[in-house]
């Protein structure tokens, strides 16, 4: 898909809440590299590698004149209002991201995810500018899907056929679990309703696992990076549950193309909710993923099982066909390529001692090898 980037005379004033985080810093970098937009990052730097991400961003083309950083908290409604009033586009990624942390401290989770998001949409409404506003919600807002034994048979066949028939569409029943699911679900519904009730052009992306270089690998962020970085650090990988949980994975680069498409086709996407993820072609079980890391990165992976964590869905596969229909977007990078990308980034930035040439991932070979581990 060819995405037209900004024309030279464009005056996109982009505000990114959570712009120092994993997804936010990638999106800021994409905008600086591919468009002429000015980028305003609003972040409280609570994610521990936020300063590193900002240093990386400052090396982007035109960063000196086009990037502004505000270190502030989305719970501060005045600070949010001040930032929003000059924005023509808003991307809201700032969040408390951990299910476990939400159980330990539900008030903070509520204040950041629910009230913080309310501050953002309310500031957008009150600005009177009708800024385009995209919010990243989560697949955890859906009812837990518990496949029976026969469903597992269906799943196996569908993996091989690359079918979408067991994947989750946007009409799937909402069912919020745990404070994190409730606070993100509430935010998701507020953002959506501000399009219906007040005409703010909002878009909600319900994301499953997104992964790529520069992800922190901490427990509350992504199992994908956590597994890969632990293996490369020669530390054991902890699998919560029995490892048979089934997930789809999306490359962060493919998500950036989805943001660009949502903006480009905003006449169609405004007011919509979309499931965004790797989909049926990018499905893997956690146990399979261990074998995949070993094959693609040529490392020995030690792993240990821990009790399942609250909120873990046994199966989740994204059906993104609604978004494809509206924008022609499709993910491009396979799970193997995502593992390769993260390994390559780690090698070049953190561990030059690891062999320079990682084996090029060969999708079918790797997937065949990992199936043996999962069985
Ligand atoms: N990464 C994924 O796989 C994934 C999956 C589903 C949903 N999401 C959603 O996407 C968004 C971005 O995720 P990410 O992986 O980039 O997370 P991240 O933790 O890397 O980024 C979030 C950023 O928000 C900032 N932040 C947190 N609380 C804040 C506050 N009170 N005020 C201001 N800034 C604050 C953090 O410092 C951080 O820089 C989140 O809303 C998350 O729920 C991500």
> What residue owns the CA closest to ligand 1's atom 41?
93
CA–centroid distance, residue 107 to ligand 1 (Å): 17
3-state SS record for 26-69: HHHHHHHHHCCCEEEEEECCCCCCHHHHHHHHCCCCCHHHHEEE
Which residues 6+ apart lie within 8 Å of 220 measured at CB? 97, 98, 99, 100, 101
**Does 340 participate in catalysis according to the annotation?**
no
Which residues 6+ apart lie within 8 Å of 136 measured at CB? 23, 92, 93, 95, 205, 207
What are the residue ranges spanned by the domains of the chain? 95-374
Q: Tell whether the model's pLDDT for residue 339 goes beyond 70.
A: yes
Q: Which residues pair with 87 in a beta bridge?
A: none
CA–centroid distance, residue 178 to ligand 1 (Å): 18
CA–centroid distance, residue 318 to ligand 1 (Å): 20
pLDDT in tens, 351-371: 655 555 555 555 554 455 445
The dotted CATH code for 95-374 is 3.40.50.720
Task: Tell me what pLDDT residue 360 has.
Answer: 56
Q: Residue 311 — very low, low, confident or very high, per pLDDT cuts 50/70/90?
A: low
> What residue owns the CA closest to ligand 1's atom 30?
73
- Ligand 1 pocket, 285 CB below 6 A? no
pLDDT in tens, 140-180: 999 766 554 444 444 444 444 444 457 899 998 999 989 99
Point out the catalytic residue in the list 180, 190, 263, 274. Answer: 180
Residue to probe by mutation, ligand 1, list 57, 78, 97, most atoms within 8 Å of CB: 97
According to DSSP, the β-strands at 132-138 and 202-207 are parallel
Q: What is the model's pTM?
A: 0.90
> What residue owns the CA closest to ligand 1's atom 26?
94
Find the mean pLDDT for residues 300-320: 87
């Amino acid at each position: 898909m060819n995405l037209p980037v900004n024309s030279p005379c464009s005056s996109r004033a982009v505000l990114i809440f959570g712009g120092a985080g994993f997804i936010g810093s990638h999106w800021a970098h994409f905008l600086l590299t591919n468009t002429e937009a000015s980028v305003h990052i609003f972040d409280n730097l609570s994610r521990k590698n936020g300063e590193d991400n900002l240093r990386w961003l400052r090396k982007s083309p035109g960063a000196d004149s086009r990037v502004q950083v505000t270190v502030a908290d989305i719970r501060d409604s005045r600070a949010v209002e001040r930032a929003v009033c000059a924005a023509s586009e808003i991307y809201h990624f700032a969040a408390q991201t951990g299910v476990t942390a939400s159980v330990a401290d539900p008030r903070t989770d509520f204040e950041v995810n629910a009230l913080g998001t309310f501050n953002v949409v309310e500031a957008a409404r009150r600005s009177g500018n009708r800024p385009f506003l995209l919010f990243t919600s989560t697949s955890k807002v859906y009812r837990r899907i518990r496949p029976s034994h026969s469903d597992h048979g269906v799943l196996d066949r569908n993996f091989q056929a690359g079918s979408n028939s067991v994947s989750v569409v946007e009409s799937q029943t909402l069912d919020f679990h745990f404070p994190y699911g409730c606070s993100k679900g509430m935010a998701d519904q507020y953002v959506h309703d501000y399009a219906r009730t007040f005409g703010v052009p909002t878009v909600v992306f319900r994301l499953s696992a997104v992964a790529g270089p520069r992800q922190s690998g901490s427990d509350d962020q992504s199992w994908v990076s956590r597994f890969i970085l632990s293996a490369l650090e020669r530390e054991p990988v902890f699998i919560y549950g029995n490892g048979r949980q089934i997930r789809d994975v999306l490359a962060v680069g493919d998500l950036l193309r989805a943001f660009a498409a949502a903006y480009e086709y905003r006449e169609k996407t405004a007011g919509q909710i979309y499931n965004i993820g790797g989909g049926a072609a990018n499905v893997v079980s956690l146990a399979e993923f261990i074998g995949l890391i070993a094959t693609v990165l040529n490392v020995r992976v030690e792993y240990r099982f821990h009790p399942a964590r609250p909120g873990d869905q046994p199966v989740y596969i994204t059906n993104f066909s609604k978004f494809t229909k509206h924008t022609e977007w499709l993910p491009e990078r396979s799970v193997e390529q995502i593992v390769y990308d993260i390994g390559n980034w780690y090698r070049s930035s953190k561990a030059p001692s690891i062999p320079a040439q990682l084996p090029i991932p060969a999708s079918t070979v790797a997937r065949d090898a990992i199936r043996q581990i999962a069985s």
